[in-house]
Amino acid sequence: MTQPLLRIESLRVDFPTDDGVVHAVDGVDLEVFPGEIVAVVGESGSGKSVTAMSVLRLLREPPARVSADVLTFRDHDLRTLSPADLRALRGGPVGMIFQDPMTALNPVMTIGDQIAEAVLLHQAERDRRAARRRAVDLLGLVGVPDAAQRARQYPHEFSGGMRQRAMIAMAIANDPDLIIADEPTTALDVTIQAQVLELVRKAQRETGAATVLITHDLGVVAELADRVVVMYAGRVVETAGVEALFAQPRHPYTVGLLASLPRMDIDTDELNAIPGNPPNMIDPPSGCPFHPRCPLARERCVTERPGLREVAPGRRSACHYAEEVGT
């Protein structure tokens, strides 16, 4: 059987604050296999971005406290890699695309030089001129017009959508095996979003990289993902293939997320947002953390925490009553 490229078991991330410890990620398990696109979805505060950032140890530790039983990329134990080895992974075998490209781009360096630097950092055998040519090719590949000329410009001379394209070019510059894309379209306007999504898909096809796509947007999930991981209150509450998840969700939270999607086929202005608010992660609810918002909740849910269990082949749900959901 194919081995997972990325394996996470029992990941926990805590942030001590003046008000108490925020349990941002509370025992997440996740496997990503070569070539697949896994979407991690949930409301803001569900722990999805913190999970993604923990993979390459991008959180500042301290204050963050990160622990896991297993955290591996290929045969690298990410818990014990040196900072230099982690840097060698980032932008090399693991490409990253963030919501805000300005955090990833250097404002005082031309776009072309930044991409060429990324190439040289991981492909030392290339000379500088070859790296610059590769930068221009990559910009062309991600749809930046007049790539040779635009490569000489600085990030502030690029629009938001073009900066996102440049960051995608950097993420794929070294033919990664894994791409982590954290809300890649959230900061963009709707027409540009579609183009950038298409580009993420193209980047994935060009490189054959497995992709972890962090998003709160189920429309994006339906477009791109093979498999979906739904997070709530720092935990995984459901995993399924994308078609199965949309056809029949097996966790009441997923049902709520799907119901809040605008429907083209129903003439209504009402959006069915999930009632209530995400929990306070300093003092999360007892039992199932979703129970204060769950229409199926009963006594057992208040006292007993549901584990993530297989409810059908390839499907897992963390609900005591998963078999009743959607029936």
Nearer to ligand SF4, 141 or 296 (CB): 296
Nearer to ligand SF4, 91 or 256 (CB): 256
By CB under 6 A, tell whether 224 contacts ligand SF4.
Answer: no
Stretch that binds ligand SF4, among 26-34, 141-149, 168-176, 296-304 (CB under 6 A): 296-304
By CB under 6 A, tell whether 252 contacts ligand SF4.
Answer: yes
Min CB(307)–ligand SF4 separation in Å:
10
Min CB(325)–ligand SF4 separation in Å:
8
Contact 38, 229 (CB under 8 A): yes
Min CB(228)–ligand SF4 separation in Å:
17
Return the residue of 59, 100, 296, 326 that touches ligand SF4, per CB under 6 A: 296
Min CB(222)–ligand SF4 separation in Å:
23
| Nearest-10 crossing angle of helices 160-172, 111-122 | 20
> Which conformational region is residue 133 in: left (phi greater than 0), alpha (psi within -120 to 50 degrees), or beta?
alpha
Tell how strand 227-232 and strand 210-215 pair up: unpaired
Amino acid of residue 170: M
Contact 77, 180 (CB under 8 A): no
By CB under 6 A, tell whether 232 contacts ligand SF4.
Answer: no
Nearer to ligand SF4, 93 or 279 (CB): 279
Tokens of 95: 């490409």
Nearer to ligand SF4, 167 or 288 (CB): 288
Pinpoint the alpha helices (H) of 158-289: 160-172, 190-207, 218-224, 242-247, 252-259
Q: Which H or E run contains 144? A: none
Q: Tell me how far apart the alpha carbons of residues 169 and 189 are, in angstroms, rounded to a whole number.
A: 20
Q: Tell me if residue 263 falls in helix, strand or coil.
A: coil
By CB under 6 A, tell whether 321 contacts ligand SF4.
Answer: yes
Stretch that binds ligand SF4, among 112-120, 183-191, 255-263, 315-323 (CB under 6 A): 315-323
Q: How many helices (H) and strands (E) does the chain have?
A: 12, 13
Nearer to ligand SF4, 72 or 317 (CB): 317
CA 98 to chain centre: 9
Return the residue of 15, 73, 98, 290 that touches ligand SF4, per CB under 6 A: 290
Tokens of 191: 């027409």
Residues 194-223 that bind ligand SF4 (CB under 6 A): none
Min CB(231)–ligand SF4 separation in Å:
13
- Give the residue among 38, 176, 187 at the shortest CA–CA distance from 103: 187
By CB under 6 A, tell whether 249 contacts ligand SF4.
Answer: no
Return the residue of 6, 97, 119, 301 that touches ligand SF4, per CB under 6 A: 301
Chain positions contacting ligand SF4, by CB under 6 A: 251-252, 288, 290-291, 294, 296-297, 301, 306, 319-321
